[in-house]
Amino acid sequence: MKTLLKTVLIPFMLVSLASFTQAEANLDELLSQIDADISASRLSTPADNNAIDKIWHFKAVAPYDQRINSRANEVGASYVSLANRSRLAKKFSKAQTYLDNAWMLSYLTPGLEASQDALDKIYKGGSKTAKTTKKAPAKKVVAKAVKKTAPKKVAKVDSKKEAAAKAAKRKKELAAAKLAKKKAKAQLAQKQRLAEEKERKLVLQRKELEAKRQAAAKLATLNVQRERAANAQLVAASSEIASFDLKQDLLDNHSASDIRPALVPICQEILDNEASVVLHTQSKADYRWLTVRLTLCVRRLDKGYRLRHSYQQADSDQPSISLHPGRNVSLLKQSRY
């Protein structure tokens, strides 16, 4: 069961770590693309390849990453600037469209509220620049004009009709602006709801992944601790016949010819006592190599002897080989390696 858990959980942990690293790299690349779009003034065009679309995508993927806020405010500030210029040029509908984009993208954009207030004031008739209807002539002037010539009266009637048409047009523009603002707020609310839903799902997934990662780490640590404790108990319970120290340099070089003279007397002691051995090394790589050398050494002296060997990590920098009473199985429990 322990072996199965290690076989399943360790690859899962490695894949999870790789996924986190790749996701972070993808976010950095997306931020670079957004910066390039802003520099090139690709704010909302071309479709599916502009700064606004990529900002929304970034917020959906990484809702807690605050690095996107400065980009959103920068795009919002561009739209506020465009709205101000359109308002001064009396292109009020166009100005409102720019402000709608800024409201949806970043409602905290500096200057957004002030620009909206200025545009609302014009639409409500609070600014002299929005009043284009001329004052009606005084009654005396009208009477004089009527007496003087009939065509002028007709011209006055046409002027009133034109003023009424302009007033109706302004009213229609104001209604359209209000509708556009209402629609923009509804779209913003919808996007916020979707973003919140995605955020909740991502948070839940991250919590589940973190819980699995912690559980796997705890299980791996517990297994190692249990194995070491069991090995230590078995070694302590087993009487030691003899112990031989080795130089770490002999293992570092992995030279069979250099270590052979040091192993020959140890192999003879193993045969004389029909002993099993525990190899104390710093790493399992050294243990595997030393096991091969020790097995070949024993076989050269007695081909019929079957060496029983176990591994225990050395407590010091100096490797050693300890001899113990012979047995039919390995002295220590061995995990896969």
Q: The tokens of 266 are what?
A: 């140890």
pLDDT at 173: 86
For residue 316, pLDDT over 50 is answered with yes
Percent of the chain with pLDDT over 70: 77
Rounded Cα distance, 108 and 69, in Å: 9
pLDDT band at 267 (very low <50, low <70, confident <90, very high): very high
User: Under 8 Å CB-to-CB from 246, ≥6 apart: which residues?
Assistant: 259, 262, 290, 318, 319, 320, 321
pLDDT in tens, 17-65: 556 567 778 889 999 999 999 999 888 888 878 989 999 999 999 888 9
* Mean pLDDT score across all residues of the chain: 81
pLDDT at 156: 65
How does DSSP assign 238-298, residue by residue?
SPP-EEEE--HHHHHHT-HHHHHHHHHHHHHHHHHHT-EEEEEESSHHHHHHHHHHHHHHH
Rounded Cα distance, 298 and 307, in Å: 8
User: Under 8 Å CB-to-CB from 98, ≥6 apart: which residues?
Assistant: 79, 80, 82, 83, 86
Q: What is the mean pLDDT of residues 166-193?
A: 88
Q: The tokens of 96 are what?
A: 């409102």
pLDDT band at 228 (very low <50, low <70, confident <90, very high): confident
For residue 177, pLDDT over 70 is answered with yes
For residue 87, pLDDT over 60 is answered with yes
pLDDT band at 93 (very low <50, low <70, confident <90, very high): very high
With CA atoms as reference, report the closest residue to 105 among 137, 89, 83: 83
For residue 222, pLDDT over 90 is answered with no
User: Under 8 Å CB-to-CB from 108, ≥6 apart: which residues?
Assistant: 73
pLDDT in tens, 109-123: 999 999 999 999 886
Q: The tokens of 95 are what?
A: 């100005």
Q: Does 6 or 31 have the greater pLDDT score? A: 31
Task: Say if pTM beats, i.e. exceeds, 0.75.
Answer: no
Q: Please state the length of the chain.
A: 337
For residue 126, pLDDT over 50 is answered with no
Question: Can you give the C-alpha Rg of the chain in angstroms?
Answer: 42
pLDDT at 254: 86
Cβ distance 245 to 277 under 8 Å?
no
Residue 320: strand pairing partners: 245, 280
